[in-house]
Amino acid sequence: MENRPPRRGFVWANGYYDWADDHYIWVDGHYEPERPDAYWSPPRWELQGGVFGWLPGGWISIQAGPAVAPPPPPPEPVLEVRPGFVWVPGNYEWRDTRYVWVGGRWEPGRPAERWQPGRWERHGNHWVWHHGGWHRHR
């Protein structure tokens, strides 16, 4: 872990190991300009569904999030498998003080990458959406 001196108006984003070209590479840490309405969520590897997925670091809003959990997702139609595509499940988005359902979609598959679904997490007294995305795997 890198330790850097505090710098007024900035947050230190630690370096991390990323997986590229069949080996780990070190990505140096850096200073991020502070945001009064958000906090820095560091990047990390997380076990989800028996597979480790990479969650990139980023800013998470602390003002716009809902105070209640999203409702259960509605059932989505069962679709035929499309060779060369990956089904990205739908999710709720927080828009204008309410949850809005956004249906799932087909994405072209990517060799050596796996789709990591997004998820809602409770942070203190509000809920925050962590976006899904493509992540390398072996």
Which of helix, strand or coil describes residue 132? coil
Residue 48 lies in a domain: yes
Residue 4 lies in a domain: no
Q: What is the pLDDT of residues 16-70, one digit of tens each?
A: 888 788 888 898 989 989 887 778 888 888 777 778 777 888 887 766 578 899 9
Question: Cβ atoms within 10 A of the Cβ of 42, count?
Answer: 14
Q: Is 98 exposed, middle or buried, given 0-12, 13-18 or 19+ CB atoms closer than 10 A?
A: exposed
**Range of the structural domain that residue 35 is part of:** 10-136
What share of residues in the chain are helix, strand, coil (percent, to 5)? Answer: 0, 50, 50
Residue 105 lies in a domain: yes
| 132 contacts 49 by C-beta, under 8 angstroms | no
Residue 5 lies in a domain: no
pTM: 0.53
Q: How many domains does the chain have?
A: 1
- What per-residue confidence (pLDDT) applies to 52? 79
Residue 54 lies in a domain: yes
Residue 2 lies in a domain: no
Residue 121 lies in a domain: yes
Measured distance CA(1)–CA(35) in Å, rounded: 23
Query: Which amino acid belongs to residue 68?
Result: V
Residue 100 lies in a domain: yes
- What per-residue confidence (pLDDT) applies to 102? 92
- What per-residue confidence (pLDDT) applies to 92? 93
Measured distance CA(3)–CA(7) in Å, rounded: 12
Q: What is the pLDDT of residues 91-129, one digit of tens each?
A: 999 887 889 999 999 989 988 888 888 899 988 788 888
